[in-house]
């Protein structure tokens, strides 16, 4: 028990002045609960993940998440409410989609065992929460945008993503800039970026149901950031293409675009 605290503090001391305090807060209160389950190696791994993260750079420390708001008690496994303190819009939208709605309604979290769609067998018991997609200590958005989804999703459309031009371009880029204007990941289409708060901030809409139906919403709010209107609509209403995750150009031609062309010609003529 004492050894763990010493380690925590020594890691802290070599990092910054605020960290020992942060770690101290975490581990003096929580030590008895932690002592049996957490090894020194795990603790230093967690610290190494956190150190280069956007959180560490913004002074979000261990205690920012591991301490209860009111009682200041140590929280061993924080849930979405700890994130909500600082990320209100992301949390509110998460709770409205299929992924989060059970939590909003006070039910147990969604798990793949409850799904209608095919899911990875080994993920059946995995609980949906912010940490289902985010490594909460590194908060690496690159890993969250494709790899995390594929720890659960196992249908043809999801698995075919890796064969698409979108995927090749994302892998070639090698990182996920914020905001990303060129990469197309699962999250580009399903967790779209938009102005969610009253400011000019572009944030990630975490409602994974929001732009599914009708499909023209995704066409105009996502695809048309990069493709023309006709290309976007012809692609998104092509069921085969959705199934192959857009791994070839569209084959269907929506008649309404031909009608628009005829009308336009008439008007011009």
User: What part of residues 208-227 is at the interface with ligand HEC (CB under 6 A)?
Assistant: 208-209, 212-213, 215, 218, 222-223, 225-227
Q: Shortest distance, CB of residue 88 to ligand HEC, whole angstroms?
A: 9
Q: What's the min distance (Å) between Cβ of 268 and ligand HEC? A: 29
Window 80 to 139, contacts with ligand HEC (CB under 6 A): 80, 82-83, 85-87, 90-91, 94, 98-99, 110, 112, 115-117, 123, 126, 128, 130-134, 136-137, 139
Residues 148-167 that bind ligand HEC (CB under 6 A): 148-153, 157-158, 161, 165-166
Cα separation, 8 vs 153, in Å, equals 37
Q: Does 203 bind ligand HEC (CB under 6 A)?
A: yes
Peptide bond just before 37 cis, omega within 30 deg: no
Out of 60, 71, 172, 217, the residue judged to bind ligand HEC by CB under 6 A: 60
Write down the least CB distance from residue 121 to ligand HEC, Å: 12
Nearer to ligand HEC, 248 or 258 (CB): 248
């Amino acid at each position: 028990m004492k050894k763990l605290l010493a380690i925590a503090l020594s890691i802290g001391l070599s990092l910054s002045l605020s960290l020992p305090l942060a770690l101290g807060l975490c581990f003096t209160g929580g030590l008895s609960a932690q002592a049996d389950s957490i090894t020194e190696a795990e603790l230093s791994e967690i610290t190494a993940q956190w150190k280069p993260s956007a959180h560490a750079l913004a002074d979000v420390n261990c205690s920012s998440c591991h301490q209860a708001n009111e009682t200041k008690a140590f929280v061993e496994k924080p849930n979405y409410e700890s994130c909500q303190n600082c990320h209100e819009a992301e949390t509110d939208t998460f709770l409205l989609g299929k992924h989060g709605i059970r939590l909003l309604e006070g039910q147990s979290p969604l798990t793949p065992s409850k799904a209608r769609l095919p899911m990875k067998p080994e993920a059946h018991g995995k609980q949906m929460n912010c940490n289902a997609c985010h490594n909460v200590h590194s908060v690496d958005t690159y890993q969250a945008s494709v790899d995390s989804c594929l720890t659960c999703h196992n249908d043809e459309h999801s698995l075919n993503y890796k064969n698409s031009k979108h995927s090749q371009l994302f892998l070639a880029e090698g990182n996920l800039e914020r905001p990303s204007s060129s990469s197309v990941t699962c999250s580009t289409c399903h967790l779209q970026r938009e102005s969610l708060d009253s400011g000019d901030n572009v944030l990630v809409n975490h409602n994974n149901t929001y732009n599914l139906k009708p499909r023209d919403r995704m066409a105009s709010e996502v695809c048309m950031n990069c493709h023309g209107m006709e290309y976007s609509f012809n692609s998104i209403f092509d069921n085969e293409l959705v199934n192959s995750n857009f791994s070839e150009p569209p084959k269907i031609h929506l008649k309404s675009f031909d009608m628009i062309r005829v009308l336009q010609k008439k008007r011009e003529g």
